[in-house]
Structure 1
Amino acid sequence: MKGMFLVSLLLVCNIVFSFSPDSAIVSVEKIEPKPAMVVWDINDSLYHIPSFDLYCGFDQTKIWGMKVDQTKKKDTTTIKLLHDSCDFHSPWIGRLTSEYGWRNNRPHYGIDLKLSTGDSVQSVFDGMIRISRYSASYGHVVVIRHLNGLETLYAHLSKRLVKEGDEIHTGEVLGLGGNTGRSFGSHLHFETRYLGEPINPRSIFEINDSSFTIKEELLMLNASHFTFLKEVRRIKYHRVRSGDSLWRISKKYGVSISKLCRLNGISRKKTLRIGERLRYN
């Protein structure tokens, strides 16, 4: 009976034992149980990932992977931005150095706020980190998917303090300001997007050099919020090939050299580089 009791106890405790020929136990080894595999189904994603149903997923491969054309939007989408006063926090309060819109004849899809390297940058709403990585253009960049359906981007950081898949709360520090990527001087590049399409942050927030507040509790989103994007998509570009010149490009598209120079912010003496894009309309 004693031997049977010992065997039963060892089996319950996940212990491997061996016997000698005379039935004496000569070695005992404990086996660590393997963790159970967690299977995450669609219901888990709908529950845990913000706006999973709206975006039909949570793409972590590209900064702006999914884009649903909002320039042809026929209806109005009501987005409840606030449920409580603690549901919003400014990302950073600093001098506005660059607006949303055209900048040096190129589209600028966010705003720039002056800061110093090392300043704390915070999440504007609750959400989940979809992107946290280094990009050649954005530098150290973080993209957050929010519970309200919007996504926000924070770029040119000197350091990221969050990982992809992390939950983040309103006002939580996500990184430190910096000057990484395609940037000239320390600043925060901040974007707001809906289904991958950029929205002027000033449509949502009241922004000046000393404050960054939310305008309204509700955002009534319609096609008028995407007029700049519609304008951008009407623009056509020529990609420079071997043998091209401003004269040849002007003849090809029926536009004057003066206009080509004005549209692209260049002079007549500019040396064209193969692969360079030139706007011609």
Structure 2
Amino acid sequence: MNLKKNISKFYIVALFALTAIPSHGQDLLARQAPIDRKLKAVDTLALKSIIEREKVQSPAADLYNDWDNRYAHHRTEMPDSFKIDLRHFCMPTPSRVVTSNFGSRWGRPHKGLDIKVYIGDSIRAAFSGKVRIVRYEAAGYGKYIVIRHPNGLETIYGHLSEQLVSENQTVRAGEVIGLGGNTGRSTGSHLHFETRLCGVALNPALMFDFRNQDVTGDYFVYNSNTYDRESADATRIRGKIGNGGYTRDLVQDGEPGRYSGHIKENSAEILYHKVKAGETIQSISKKRGVSIDKICQLNHLSSKSHVRPGQILRYS
């Protein structure tokens, strides 16, 4: 009789134990869930931190196979279409004057925009990124800087008088990286500004509107099928002759314009003169009604300096 009772008790205890296992397992899973979520959050933060560090070490690594300080521009495989983020930008200079367009010039390709600046003017990084090259090229860029940005672009700043950053340095948009100058193959102080994607030069006027000191939108989508037409339109609208750069109001080259007479020495209007063949500082001074000293001071010249046809001089 006792054996039967003991067997019955064992059976009942075993039955309760078996029915309790699923609920106990569920309790364990329930208690484990918050821990799993915390670990997942930690893993996510760690992963984000790793990704951010990699972006700093090698911006736009998905486009470029390596980080090389030897070449100013080395062409790699170019995507047929690519979306470039233009937000969080800074204009490299407050100058609104485009002196030379992107495209063919003097029988050879001109891979960027020339912007009128003066020796010593601050030049700033257009976007945050990492400095890839700081170098001097006597027959070309002069003192120049190349920065690679996370949005895929590389920007080049040429003819500088001073370089204020070093290779592999991380910079923020708007940080002063150099000073305007006239070094290298240059006929007057200006900034040569390039925008390249995978080593291929794109017309900066597609993205930067110097006249209005702004970018053309939050994004620019490069498309190999429409690029040529869009580039031509950008030059027409925002280049040297379009709404950006020189107009007759800004540059007097002998043609009729708003400022056909002499100007006051203390005029606040910023005006420019495009040098013609045979002209000198003395003849320009007489033509514009401005003293030689004033012209020399505004353009960092001496009274004995020679000016070249096509050179741009500020006279007010």
TM-score (norm 2): 0.53
Q: 1:147 to 1:69 in 2, by over 3 A?
A: closer
- The percent identity for this pair of structures is 42
Equivalent of residue 140 in structure 1, options 116, 126, 143: 143
For the 8 Å contact 1:93–1:113, the answer to whether it is kept is no
Equivalent of residue 149 in structure 1, options 146, 152, 160: 152
Aligned residue in 1 for 2:84: 79
Q: 1:43 to 1:57 in 2, by over 3 A?
A: farther
Aligned residue in 1 for 2:40: none
TM-aligned CA deviation for residue 140 of structure 1: 0.4
Q: Distance in 2 between matches of 1:152 and 1:161?
A: 16
Moved over 3 A (4+): 42-47, 224-228
Q: Letter of the aligned partner of 1:221 in structure 2?
A: Y
Deviations 1:147-196 (A, max 9, x none): 11100000000000000000000100000000000001100000000000
Aligned residue in 1 for 2:284: none
* SS across alignment from 2:132: strand
TM-aligned CA deviation for residue 139 of structure 1: 0.4
Aligned residue in 1 for 2:162: 159
Aligned residue in 1 for 2:107: 105
Aligned residue in 1 for 2:207: 204
* SS across alignment from 1:55: coil
Equivalent of residue 194 in structure 1, options 192, 197, 214: 197
TM-score (norm 1): 0.59
Equivalent of residue 66 in structure 2, options 35, 57, 77: 57
Q: Distance in 2 between matches of 1:46 and 1:196?
A: 19
Count of paired positions: 178
Q: 1:46 to 1:124 in 2, by over 3 A?
A: closer
Equivalent of residue 180 in structure 1, options 175, 178, 183: 183
* SS across alignment from 1:171: coil
Aligned residue in 1 for 2:7: none
TM-aligned CA deviation for residue 105 of structure 1: 1.6
Q: 1:116 to 1:47 in 2, by over 3 A?
A: closer
* SS across alignment from 2:155: strand
Q: Distance in 1 between matches of 2:53 and 2:111?
A: 33
Q: Which has the larger radius of gyration?
A: 2
Give ranges in structure 2 of 5+ residues lacking alignment.
1-50, 230-316
Q: Letter of the aligned partner of 1:55 in structure 2?
A: Y
* SS across alignment from 1:227: helix
Give ranges in structure 1 of 5+ residues lacking alignment.
1-41, 229-281
Q: Distance in 2 between matches of 1:112 and 1:47?
A: 29
Deviations 1:248-277 (A, max 9, x none): xxxxxxxxxxxxxxxxxxxxxxxxxxxxxx
Q: How does 1:1-281 map to 2 (within 5 A)?
A: 45=54, 48-65=57-74, 67-68=75-76, 70=78, 75-82=80-87, 87-94=88-95, 95-136=97-138, 137-208=140-211, 211-224=212-225, 226-227=227-228
* CA RMSD of superposed structures (Å): 2.2
TM-aligned CA deviation for residue 212 of structure 1: 2.3
* SS across alignment from 1:202: helix
Q: 1:186 to 1:43 in 2, by over 3 A?
A: closer
Q: Distance in 1 between matches of 2:191 and 2:197?
A: 20
More strand by percentage:
1
For the 8 Å contact 1:200–1:225, the answer to whether it is kept is no
Deviations 1:97-122 (A, max 9, x none): 00001111211010001111000000
More helix by percentage:
2
